Structure 1
Amino acid sequence: MFSPDALIASAKRTISLEQDAISSLLARIDDSFVRACELILNCKGRVVVVGMGKSGHIAHKIAATLASTGTPAFFVHPAEASHGDMGMITADDVVLALSNSGTTNEIVTLLPLIKRLGLTLISMTGNPDSTLANAAQVNLDTQVSKEACPLNLAPTSSTTVTLVLGDALAIALLEARGFTPEDFAFSHPGGALGRRLLLKVEHVMHSGDELPAVTRDASLRATLLEMTQKGLGMTLILAPDRTLAGIFTDGDLRRALDKGIDVREANIAELMTHGGKTARPEMLAAEALKIMEDHKISSLPVVNENNQAIGALNMHDLLRAGVM
């Protein structure tokens, strides 16, 4: 039975071996890498990533990373490709084939079909003199001196190097395309980043009959009734042309009560907060959140280009929308 020290030593040895394998990859980022990027950037179709076994798992990840960073890509199982899935591949596509040995039967079987279709072929192999590497327009060298496996059999260092090279390829393409955070968000609309980069104030604000608002000549009593009915903890105070004159919040009410104001007689124009921070409907909801956080406020009026009140939102709205 292994001792704790032996287990820790084994883990550190594996990490060191894989770290060394990745470091050795730096010297092989050369003209071949540039050519592979150019072929993909000029591709009118998609990148079809293929691989068997452990390389297949890495191929899945590379395809997913490419697709989420601006390079249309998908994975095709090479064995299934020989039984109908070649129909998923068009003449405009680029095939990215992964094989550590470069002689994987299921991939080598596809080479005549790839050539017949006139497809561009990029390979990632650990043997630059292999059948696959020689058939490709460009080969990306993923060879390692030693697997992390003590038997030097299980794909460990080699799959790590291939994964890292795939990430390097995806990010180089991302930067070459000028891919933006907004572009990334469109690929991840269901994620937190997508919500922060796509959701606008107009999508979450209260408007129309839901908007708490009174005119400047309203009484404090009428204002409190409006606040209670609309449930936002605030009311907008409007001028006759619906421009925003001010805002009245729960905090303003507490301050008024502390001063002994007569709730039945007071006019809201005497008690409201004049001006204040506002949001625009086309603003990102995340920007509105930052305004609230920076100024330690819990709600914002929403105004149009003429400073007319068209909506309102609070922290709870942003929380429900998943922006926070």
Structure 2
Amino acid sequence: MEFATDNLINLSVADFPENLKSRGKQPSTVESYSRDASRFVEFMQEKKLRLGKLEPDILLEYENYLRTECEGRTNSVRRSMIGVRQFFRFLVDRKILRESPFDAVALPARDEGLPDQLDEEDIAMLIEAAAASSPPIKAARDRAIVALLAYEGLKASELIHLVWTDLMLDDNLAAWGSLSIPGDRGRTIILGPETATALDCYRTLFREWSAKRPGLISRMFISFKGRESAVSVPTMTRHGLKFVMYELGEKIGFSSLNSELLRHHAIRYQLSLGKSPEDLMGHLGLRRPGNIARHNARPVLEPALPKPFKAVKAVKAAGGSTGSDDDDGSQNIHD
């Protein structure tokens, strides 16, 4: 490996985001990988490590540093190490290094655990990723989908068949509403304030969208196709929802995300609000309390509400997704 000055590596850190954008990475990925690169360079400087003298075990030392000094969770540490490896591959591409010392270093295994391991940090990251979608109606739609799955526990098949007449929002109480859920386990639920507010924001943009398409019969959740979601479709399929989950999961480094994981989070979230197992069975449309009992035996989430919902603003994604909501994702959704 060739020697490079501290100045050169700092310049490389500054250039790294543009390289990621040119490769079509999502804005959230660009931000996280860039942050990972900067943090590792700071670690090198603190340890007085030379770029041309790095050995594979340095990355393992850095992993331990993240776990102890930064109190990083397993999956957060894993994502940070992926970001560092991406940065060193960039240095090889720029011929600053002949080879990366870290490509052969095994990453820590993802802590899949039980489906209930998604926490409020994960959900907050998902909501932020949804807000970065474009166009604005897609951002609002994605946030509403995350809220319905992660806070209210809807099943995939229930969500894609919703129509606007199923929703009742109080115009005088913006953060209150109810939802009639169709299907063989049909029921009416009271929505939490974050879900009601998310749906209210989405409904406002949906009305503007549908006003330009008079006579079009649409379900509540529409799909988008093509680069930068230029084409809209009046219905969402199961494959479409699967792709939404895959797309959002990729943005936060959680490619195995699916609606069932979010439904398990909803059980823990509702328990943290003090709901009884009987009430929760009615809310989720469950016939048996098995999953609730299993979650109830574990420590519940802290009973803190998520961050307040804010009006969605369009964020242009550099090199936006070329996929569509009806593309087939990589993980089956289990209802």
Identify which of structures 1 and 2 has the higher relative contact order when contacts are C-alpha pairs closer than 8 Å and 6+ apart. Answer: 2
Q: TM-score, normalised by structure 1?
A: 0.20
Q: TM-score, normalised by structure 2?
A: 0.20
Pick the structure with more strand per residue: 1
